[in-house]
Amino acid sequence: MEEHGNLTYSCIKEKALELGWDDVGITDAIIPEEDIQAYREWLVANCHADLKYMENSIRCYPEEILPGAKSAIIFVSFYKQKKEEFNEESGLIASYARGRDYHNVHRRRLKKFIRWIEEVTEQKDIAKGFSDSTPVLEKALAVQAGLGWFGKNTLLIHRRYGTFILLSGVFTTLKLPSTATKQLRLPKCGSCTRCIDACPTQAIVSPYLLDSNKCLSYHTIESKKPIPQDIQAKNPGYIFGCDICQDACPHNWRKPLSETVDFQPDSGMGSHLCHEKIGVIESDPTILFGTPLNRRKPKGLKYNFDCIREKK
């Protein structure tokens, strides 16, 4: 790979791994037109439900996020946890949400990485980080960087880690060579429909198209409206998020668990919430701070729990 001063892919990857990421790729800071078109069609079909923030078209244009952006460095965090069973006494928490809030984890890493890249290049104001909360079509950039491909459940399937991954990244005004040509030829989903078949609410309405209006994760995390009765009836017991389409994906089978401390259940609220734990959260909402569950707040978690218990 060509160098940009003292900045090579090997040293970028070394720094990324040092800061806690599991993989990294580089691509041009340009969203492919086919991904922009698919995003617009998804909005027109109202598949984003009430997620109005998804309508911000800036996510298609990195130049508007960082003027002069030429390259995107995409980081991968592997978070897979033990598959837990449903039980009669508690609600199950999705794998990604059992530990610390990944937004905070990524922000700390991104600040350190940007400081490092400025020191190495001896240039200031050349990079801007993003981690989900910033409007970016990061999965499209990850595919373009050769890190993986779109699964039929719309998640990125990483060539090594499967779908239990979180993406973050940095736009930079530096022109860096893409890693796409350095990656092995990627497999595809082929004729497999396990994720589509496994979804209890039929939210994956067709390959590569997810309707948020039907998605358990949307209703148990994002939506401010009551959960529709038909969705409640099909929820096997999730109180926050859902892993079902990921558990069904063969690319996640036989994968080891993440060793990152921040994503471990002991670092957050764990894998289940029972009636007693809900009561503790209601008495002291601050225990949710720094965890993904804080997005739902005590009232929302109690509501989700009641929906599960009423169905049972």
Q: What residues are annotated to the active site? A: 132
Q: How many Å apart are CA 183 and CA 147, to the nearest integer?
A: 8
92 close to 238: Cβ distance less than 8 angstroms? yes
* Cβ burial, residue 10 (10 Å; 0-12/13-18/19+): exposed
- Distances from the Cα of 109 to the Cαs of 5, 20, 193, 275, in angstroms? 23, 8, 36, 35
**Cβ atoms within 10 Å of 222's Cβ, excluding its own:** 17
Which residues pair with residue 103 across a beta bridge?
A: none
Q: Can you tell me which residue has the tokens 């779109």?
A: 150
Query: What are φ and ψ of residue 153, in 5° steps?
Result: -85, 10
In sequence order, the 6+-apart residues with CB closer than 8 A to the CB of 198 are 244, 245, 247, 248
